Chain A
Amino acid sequence: MTALLLRDLKLSVRAGGGALIGVLFFMTVVAVIPFGVGPDLNLLSRIGPAIVWIGALLSALLGLDRLFQTEREDGSLDLLLMQEHPLVLTVLMKCLAHWLGNGLPLVIASPLLGLFMNMNEVAIGATMLTLLVGTPALTFIGAVGAAVAVALPRGGLLVSILVLPLAIPVLIFGVSASYAAVEDPAPFMPPFLILVAITMFFAVLGPLGAALALRNAGD
């Protein structure tokens, strides 16, 4: 299991892995926003947490179709399916490796983008914390979509369409927790704890569903 984790991690950070592409896409999306809504710093600081979250969501989707695709192309997916380990654990490990390679860089890059968006320190910290807790849920949800679409020749776009509706609760509570940290009357903990609960819920449901789909998608 640890070997699988390390292998996936190495693959994702080396050339062609696409981990850095995700961060680059994240920064590009956020950088495009001021061109669209205008360089009004007050407005940007108000919508900042939402923009950073949406950017993170989109770039998390970007790398998802690679989660099982490369394994299928070189045939190692069949080996993973035939292992004696429970497939659910294998999928969980792959999700963790994918998150470490693709999700964690987004979290690390988010304070910089928060500065661009003229957010104050508390908002930046809260957004970073919610991203840290929320992006694993996006990976787990996405694993189901990636497993479902693994057999399709051009599954990339379909994965995004299938996964986005399920990712909406994560976005809602992530953004509302970030806002609650800045605005006084709303408490920070309830939406944050719900976000934690969502992540843990999908940490169970996601790998189960993905393992089921992978078994059934095999020819």
Chain B
Amino acid sequence: MTDSLAISKFSDLANPTRFLALAARILPWMAVITAILFAIGLYLSFTTEGDYQQGATVRIMYVHVPAAWLSMMCYTVMAVSAIGTLVWRHPLADVSHKAAAPLGAAFTLIALATGSLWGRPMWGTWWVWDARLTSVFVLFLMYLGLIALNRAMDDPSRAARVSAVLILVGFVNIPIIKFSVDWWNTLHQPASVIRMGGPTIDQEFLWPLLIMAIAFTMLFFTLHVMAMRNEIWRRRVAAQRRMAARLAGHVTGSEG
């Protein structure tokens, strides 16, 4: 029992106490790394010269593009957790996709809002119904629907299993978003960083963008672990309240 809290396999994380111990150990480190990366990334994004056509507005890209990547990655994390829920009945997977849904909605909202702010000076309009914009908006609606579904059920494990099914069905939207700019010729520019034959984006913009992307990813995982920890605590509080209520009822019942 001495090394009962040691984590050697992924399945060891099924014990929430072990997960909480691990989270307490790594969370400060993750937060510090996130802060450093953001400091470097923001410094670089504000000191590089602007684009010769777009001027300073190109700096919106350093927030917009990582947020958009994260909105898709978050859904992928949720889909993997959903498989974990349905196939392995991993208790932390339930917590994981429940905690990730609001984060995904937030990143999607950031991507939509910054994209809209960027589109106003560049395209001359706040919003166009083009393939990429529409599919990301649909992704946002799906996040909100999943949050609503999770809130609508009071039994957490059943809510987790049922929303896992829906997450997996909704995963068909992710490839549609990724390739929408390749399949339909629309106003939104096609992929310029992750593509066959190397990135076409200039080095000057690439480095700040990559650092900001890593910073956003670290931010997501930090917030995700925090949200999972909070969810576990919330469930424990709820369980203890139920137990206290039962005990109180028992005492008054025996008195009366």
Contacts and interface: CB of A to CB of B under 8 A. Distances in A.
Contacts of B172: 166, 205
Interface centre among B153, B158, B162 (most CB of A within 10 A): B162
Given A152-B152, A166-B169, A209-B169, A161 B162 contact: no
A155 B153 CA distance: 11
Contacts of B169: 144, 166, 205, 209
A158 B148 contact: yes
Interface residues of B, number: 23
Q: Determine chain B's interface SS by DSSP, over half rule.
A: helix
B149 A148 contact: yes
Interface stretch (A63-71, A184-192, A211-219): A211-219
Interface string A142-161: 00110111011001001001
Contacts of B148: 158, 161
Interface stretch (B36-44, B56-64, B138-146, B240-248): B138-146
Given A148-B165, A205-B169, A217-B158, A212 B86 contact: yes
B161 interface: yes
Nearest to A212: B165
Contacts of A219: 158
A209 B165 CA distance: 6
B20 interface: no
A31 interface: no
Contacts of B168: 209
B145 A162 contact: yes
A166 B170 contact: yes
B73 interface: no
B141 A213 contact: no
A208 B137 CA distance: 27
A165 interface: yes
Interface in B119-155: 134, 138, 141-142, 144-145, 148-149, 152-153
A197 interface: no
A161 B145 CA distance: 6
A194 to B, nearest CB: 11
A216 B161 contact: yes
B166 interface: yes
A158 B165 contact: no
A168 interface: yes
B76 interface: no
B142 A144 contact: no
A151 B153 CA distance: 8
A158 B166 contact: no
Interface string B159-195: 0011101101110110010000000000000000000
Contacts of A158: 145, 148-149, 152
A165 B170 contact: yes
Contact of A144 (B144, B153, B165): B165
B166 A148 contact: yes
Interface string B82-102: 000010000000000000000
Contacts of A149: 149
15 contacts: A144-B169, A147-B165, A148-B149, A148-B162, A148-B163, A148-B165, A158-B148, A165-B145, A166-B169, A166-B172, A168-B138, A205-B172, A212-B86, A213-B166, A219-B158
Interface of B: 86, 134, 138, 141-142, 144-145, 148-149, 152-153, 158, 161-163, 165-166, 168-170, 172-173, 176
**Shortest Cβ-Cβ A-B pairs, 8 listed:** A216-B161, A213-B165, A165-B138, A162-B145, A209-B169, A161-B145, A148-B162, A165-B142
